Amino acid sequence: MEYCSFPTGKPQGEMAERLAKISYVITDLDGTMLTGAKATVDSSGRPSTELIEVLVELERAGIEVVPCSGRNRSMIFEDARILGLHSWIAEMGGLICTKSGSQPEWTYYTGDMPYNPDSWKTPHDLICETGVIDEILEHWRGHMECYHDNYIGFEYREVTVAMRGDADPADVQVFLDHSGLPLYMADNGYVRRINGSTTLENVDMKHPQGIHTYHIMPKGLTKGTGIRRYAELRNISPDEMIACGDSPADCEMADYVGSFLFMRNGLDHPLAEKELAIHNNIWVSNLPSTDGWCDAMRTLLAAHE
């Protein structure tokens, strides 16, 4: 597989100019900035303060870190609050907060799916009311399930429907096409570990094989289009942003930012090679997940010296 590695140390030439323009880091969380959903470990799970130190240095340099995740509002709000981040993009781009805190400024984004906020229903409610989620669960019994965010009590979602399993997205799409709403299923990468209970059959909880995280989403909604909407709301140009992710689905963000960092741990996905080949602004981290993210951010910081 051919790809360009993200530079280490102080960048030179065109790359130095590119990175010097960046003021926003739009980043996936699990498997990208975080390992094991923790901010105080390295990529191997050992105790480390490296991520916290890098976040502090980015803040001092005036570079804003914006988490962009499948997480719901409650989880990402708390992540942002504890880490000192000022805005966020949740539910795969469907929930955009341009100002976090006690008086947040936020909006839904539903792509091509019609949505009337005066309905007093969430986009998630509208998707579930079609009955298509129940149909998928029945058809792929033991192979697909809905799940809560990290099984730690955050059940409520507002835009997407989070699922996991091993169904072929093309087969699921047949069901979605008959739902009455413009929907699709996004692959958000492999499940590395299953916590809590599961209805999936014949799965190794600690080392699941072939199990994906999926989101049933409105067509036209992706992390990428969510970033585009976020940038419109804040008047940010693509060259001012670098996005980071570890799944092939994350690579779509590259179309809406100046630069994209793909995490080395995502290279084992069968669709990774295709995504890397069709984008000319993607660089691969030299180390996996948190270690690779921190290494790349130190290069970004060096470009701002």
> In order of start, what are the domains of the chain with their CATH numbers?
13-109+222-303 (3.40.50.1000), 117-218 (no CATH)
Strands 161-165 and 212-218, by their bridges, are antiparallel
pLDDT of residue 156: 83
Q: Which residue has the tokens 């909604």?
A: 221
Which of the four pLDDT bands, split at 50, 70 and 90, describes residue 189?
confident
pLDDT tens digits for range 210-221: 999 899 999 999
pLDDT tens digits for range 193-210: 887 788 999 999 889 999
pLDDT tens digits for range 229-253: 999 999 999 999 999 999 888 999 9
Q: Which two tokens stand for residue 72?
A: 């719901």
**Over 50: is that where the pLDDT of 150 sits?**
no
- C-alpha pair distances (Å), 194 with each of 141, 149, 150, 208, 212: 18, 11, 8, 7, 11
Q: Do residues 21 and 240 lie in contact, with contact meaning Cβ atoms separated by under 8 Å?
A: yes
Beta pairing partners, 284: 5, 262
- CA angle, residues 220, 93, 32, in degrees to nearest 5: 125
**Interatomic CA distance for residues 93 and 103, integer angstroms:** 21
Q: Do residues 97 and 104 lie in contact, with contact meaning Cβ atoms separated by under 8 Å?
A: yes
Greatest alpha-carbon pair distance for the chain in Å reads 56
- CA angle, residues 125, 130, 135, in degrees to nearest 5: 115
Q: Do residues 26 and 253 lie in contact, with contact meaning Cβ atoms separated by under 8 Å?
A: yes
Stated pTM of the model: 0.91
